[in-house]
């Protein structure tokens, strides 16, 4: 039987003693891999090369396709500028008029350059994965995608003013997300991440009305296709965490703004784990290795056997390598 990625073994209970290490490397990976950020976003080979190099150097247990939130919104009309070595920038929002959401046929969606590139990244990861590491695809979640299209300010006012139209647009984007998930899993993804960061800013009521049902549907779809789901909502998710867990996502990311994970551990089903939750700046970037290890031990003690070690969000590009190595060392020990 082929060896499984450690994260899968941890999730299915065959390696309960393990501490998987799942840091989010994006700008860090590009810098470490000496790949300009434009290439990291757009060039399949460069993205994968930087990811592999970073994962190997820091004993990370996964590789992923994450780089920026605009892969899907570009298909829906967002004008994205890719600076040579900076984060992609959206010039104006794609959806000025809620009645003008573009109809997008599935084949058109899949053929768009960013979507096709993400699927190719998965395929490339999958072709050469001797470790093996967990290969993780990604989709924007319902509310995050809506905010990408409208801008958060207008998007949140729409929740009050035009809820039916918001639902209609979310339905359209999420049907394509289902297809995107399917293609990523077919290409070799073990896991699909659902990024829905806007949900930490909207409160429980709106989360339930506009995000939860679709997140759950995406998770169910991922499970039906034989993969695992990771739900990433950074920020203070204290109010919505029980619902996030109720989506059934196998890996529920927790940011450092959730100060105590203990109350949420009993809510986890046997297949579910938390992932986090060290402060990427105050702890991982700015503390000394011994202090970082102490903070990690404290986090692990809050969810014994139930925590995948990670920062609450992306590892910052200026983080000293020794700090990440300290976490890797603790995890691997």
Residue nearer to other proteins on the CB measure, 77 or 151 = 151
Q: How far is the CB of 159 from other proteins (least distance, A)?
A: 6
- Quote the CA–CA distance of 211 and 155 in Å, as a whole number: 13
Residue nearer to other proteins on the CB measure, 70 or 180 = 70
Residue nearer to other proteins on the CB measure, 126 or 317 = 317
- Quote the CA–CA distance of 218 and 141 in Å, as a whole number: 9
Residue nearer to other proteins on the CB measure, 143 or 177 = 143
Regarding 163 and contact with other proteins (CB under 8 A), the answer is no
Regarding 36 and contact with other proteins (CB under 8 A), the answer is no
Residue nearer to other proteins on the CB measure, 151 or 225 = 151
Q: Pattern of binders to other proteins over 136-155, x per CB under 8 A?
A: ----------------xx--
- Quote the CA–CA distance of 188 and 132 in Å, as a whole number: 12
Q: Which residue from 16, 106, 168, 203 is in contact with other proteins, where contact means CB under 8 A?
A: 203
Residue nearer to other proteins on the CB measure, 62 or 156 = 156
Regarding 156 and contact with other proteins (CB under 8 A), the answer is yes
Binders in 69-88 for other proteins, by CB under 8 A: 86-87
Residue nearer to other proteins on the CB measure, 60 or 285 = 285
Adjacency order of strands within the sheet including 62-64: 62-64, 134-140, 191-195, 228-232, 251-254, 273-278, 307-311
Binders in 90-129 for other proteins, by CB under 8 A: none
Q: Which residue from 105, 160, 260, 266 is in contact with other proteins, where contact means CB under 8 A?
A: 160
Q: Which residue from 59, 112, 162, 316 is in contact with other proteins, where contact means CB under 8 A?
A: 316
CA 68 to chain centre: 10
Regarding 272 and contact with other proteins (CB under 8 A), the answer is no
Residue nearer to other proteins on the CB measure, 87 or 246 = 87
Q: What number of chain residues touch other proteins (CB under 8 A)?
A: 24
Q: How far is the CB of 53 from other proteins (least distance, A)?
A: 20
- What sign does the dihedral 86-177-175-109 (CA atoms) show? positive
Q: How far is the CB of 234 from other proteins (least distance, A)?
A: 9
Regarding 159 and contact with other proteins (CB under 8 A), the answer is yes
- Quote the CA–CA distance of 181 and 187 in Å, as a whole number: 10
Q: Which residue from 104, 116, 178, 239 is in contact with other proteins, where contact means CB under 8 A?
A: 239
Q: Which residue from 54, 121, 277, 285 is in contact with other proteins, where contact means CB under 8 A?
A: 285
Long-range contacts of residues 37-42, Cβ cutoff 8 Å, at least 24 apart? 37/67, 37/82, 37/83, 37/84, 37/85, 37/86, 37/87, 38/82, 38/83, 38/84, 38/85, 38/86, 40/67, 41/67, 41/68, 41/82, 41/88, 41/114, 42/82, 42/113, 42/114, 42/117
**DSSP-derived secondary structure for 160-178:** HH-HHHHHHHHHHHHHHHH
Q: How far is the CB of 163 from other proteins (least distance, A)?
A: 12
Closest Cα partner for 26 from 193, 238, 272, 211? 193
Q: How far is the CB of 316 from other proteins (least distance, A)?
A: 4
Helices (H) and strands (E) in the chain, counts: 15, 9
Closest Cα partner for 300 from 264, 276, 325, 266? 276
- Quote the CA–CA distance of 304 and 241 in Å, as a whole number: 18
Residues in contact with other proteins by CB under 8 A are 27, 86-87, 89, 152-153, 156-157, 159-160, 201-203, 206, 236, 238-239, 280-282, 285, 316-318
């Amino acid at each position: 039987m082929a060896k499984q990625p450690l994260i899968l073994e941890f999730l299915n209970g065959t390696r309960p003693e393990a501490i998987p290490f799942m840091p989010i490397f994006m700008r860090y990976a590009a810098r470490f891999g000496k790949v300009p950020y434009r290439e990291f976003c757009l060039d399949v080979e460069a993205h994968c090369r930087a990811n592999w190099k970073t994962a190997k150097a820091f004993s990370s247990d996964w590789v992923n396709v994450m780089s920026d939130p605009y892969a899907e919104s570009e298909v829906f009309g967002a004008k994205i500028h890719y600076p040579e070595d900076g984060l992609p920038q959206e010039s104006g929002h794609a959806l000025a008029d809620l009645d003008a959401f573009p109809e997008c046929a599935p084949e058109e969606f899949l053929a768009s350059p960013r979507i096709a590139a993400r699927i190719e990244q998965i395929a490339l990861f999958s072709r050469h994965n001797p470790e093996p590491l967990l290969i993780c695809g990604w989709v924007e979640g319902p509310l995050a995608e809506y905010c990408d299209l409208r801008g958060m300010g207008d998007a949140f006012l729409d929740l009050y003013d035009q809820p039916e139209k918001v639902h209609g647009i979310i339905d359209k984007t999420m049907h394509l997300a289902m297809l995107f998930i399917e293609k990523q899993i077919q290409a070799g993804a073990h896991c699909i991440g659902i990024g829905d960061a806007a949900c930490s800013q909207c409160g429980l009521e709106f989360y339930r009305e506009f995000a939860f049902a679709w997140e759950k549907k995406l998770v169910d779809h991922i499970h039906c296709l034989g993969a695992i789901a990771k739900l990433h909502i950074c920020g203070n998710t204290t109010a919505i965490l029980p619902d996030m867990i109720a989506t059934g996502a196998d890996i529920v990311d927790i940011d450092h703004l959730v100060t105590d994970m203990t109350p949420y551990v009993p809510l986890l089903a046997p297949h579910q784990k938390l992932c986090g939750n060290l402060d990427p700046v105050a702890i991982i970037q700015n503390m000394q290795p011994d202090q970082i290890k102490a903070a990690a031990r404290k986090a692990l003690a809050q969810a014994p056997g139930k925590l995948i070690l990670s920062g609450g969000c992306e590892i910052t590009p200026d983080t000293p390598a020794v700090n990440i190595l300290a976490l890797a060392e603790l995890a691997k020990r």
